[in-house]
Amino acid sequence: MGLWDKIKGEFVDVIEWVDDSSDTMVYRFERYGNEIKYGAMLTVRETQVAILVNEGRLADIFEPGLYKLETNNTPILSTLQGWPHGFQSPFKAEIYFFNTRRFTDLKWGTKKPLTLRDREFGPVRLRAFGTYCLRINEPKTFLREIVGTDGHFTTEEITDQLRNLIVSRFASILGNSGIPVLDLAANYNQLSSFVINQIAPEFGAYGLELTKMLVENISLPTAVEEVLDRRTSMGIVGDLNAYTQFQSAEAMRAAADNPAGGASEGIGMGMGFAMGQHISHQLSNSSRQGPSKTTPPTSPGPTSPPPLPRSIEYYLAQEGQQTGPFSPETVIHKIQTGEVAKDTLVWSQGMSNWTPAGQIDTLSPLFSITPPPLPPT
């Protein structure tokens, strides 16, 4: 190799980018004064696209491969002037590497609950979160619309804007879906597909492609979830009487196993007394209701008959004085003898005021009873 070839070799560069991070989307290859030597080797790896920017304008795009930056394969270099020393001069340009792989596990979620109307629960507040994946599918658009002159662009610089976009469209779709709260979990995939179709054009305006979106959870406020859990527990318990008996028996067993002495004995006696009352009450109800389909009939023990019902007693207002009480038979006799007329004031237990006898349902028919005609002689 001659001296001249050696001098020319000193100006040959190797331009490449090996990404050792997981969030870099765009990287600008740094050179002192942005000077790139004529004949430099440009290496573009898979999942990368390189863009050469000259004097602030986008010049050339390089897909994955190995390139030698010369005038025969780089049209922008054909306008450069050579060195007066006899070989092509270095040129000033910027080279941006775009990471075109998928960026996964990007988070989205609601900062504040979404207020919606549910058919079963009425107004409810919901929180939702999940993940999504994206990639750069239009490097030119992404450079013009988002990156600008940023030499190291990461996902963190755009995820806030994308998250707000996803949440806004998700809230609109969820509100218009009419899906009951208890059925949302069965429709996560459907909701994800709706959101992707809705916001795909808006991602495309940034030069990005939303490849996947997952709804991981849609949840109610903590207080509402606690009430819902209690409601679910009641449904699982089923027969509350049987569950109460079981709980009482468990408490008695725990008290008996507790070696605390007198305190445990007192607790056990109290629980036993309460359990006995509960069982007695259940047996009493069963004897009154008769045998059921599942419980065999039990023979009732000897009991005393209930007391006879009290008969109605009437008070009469006669000659400005209260008289009585009188049994119904006595009042009937007074009506038949004419001692009590229709306008005689009568009062009995359950009546709010003194009422004429002719207006009382149990007495008014007695005033219309007339004897039949006498038989002919």
Domain boundaries, the chain: 3-99, 103-224, 314-365
Query: What pLDDT score does 207 carry?
Result: 94
Q: CA–CA distance from 135 to each of 48, 138, 199, 206, 334 (Å)?
A: 11, 9, 15, 11, 106
Instruction: Measure the CA–CA gap between 220 and 123, rounded to whole angstroms.
Output: 11
Residue at token pair 């009437």: 314
Query: What pLDDT score does 43 carry?
Result: 94
Query: What pLDDT score does 306 carry?
Result: 67
Instruction: Measure the CA–CA gap between 116 and 125, rounded to whole angstroms.
Output: 6
Query: What pLDDT score does 286 carry?
Result: 55
CATH annotation of 103-224: 3.30.479.30
- Kind of pairing, strands 48-54 and 57-62? antiparallel
- Kind of pairing, strands 41-44 and 14-15? parallel
Query: What pLDDT score does 83 carry?
Result: 36
Query: What pLDDT score does 350 carry?
Result: 76
- Could you give the count of Cα atoms lying within 13 Å of 14 in the half-sphere of its Cβ? 4
Q: Which two tokens stand for residue 270?
A: 């109290």
Task: Return the sign of the alpha-carbon dihedral for residues 323, 328, 330, 336.
Answer: positive
Query: What pLDDT score does 7 carry?
Result: 47
pLDDT in tens, the chain (377 residues): 455 554 444 455 789 999 888 899 999 998 766 677 777 889 999 999 999 887 778 888 999 999 887 765 555 544 444 433 334 556 678 899 999 999 999 999 988 888 888 888 888 889 999 999 999 999 999 999 999 889 899 999 999 999 999 998 888 888 888 888 888 888 888 888 888 988 999 999 999 999 999 999 988 878 777 877 777 776 666 666 766 776 777 777 776 676 555 445 555 555 555 555 655 565 566 555 555 444 454 555 556 676 655 667 888 888 788 887 888 888 888 888 888 888 888 888 778 888 888 888 777 787 776 566 667 76
Assign 356 to helix, strand or coil: strand
The predicted model scores a pTM of 0.56
Query: Which candidate, 313, 365, 367, 359, places its Cα nearest to that of 339?
Result: 367
Instruction: Measure the CA–CA gap between 18 and 7, rounded to whole angstroms.
Output: 28
Query: What pLDDT score does 84 carry?
Result: 39
Query: What pLDDT score does 280 carry?
Result: 59
Q: Which amino acid is at 36?
A: I
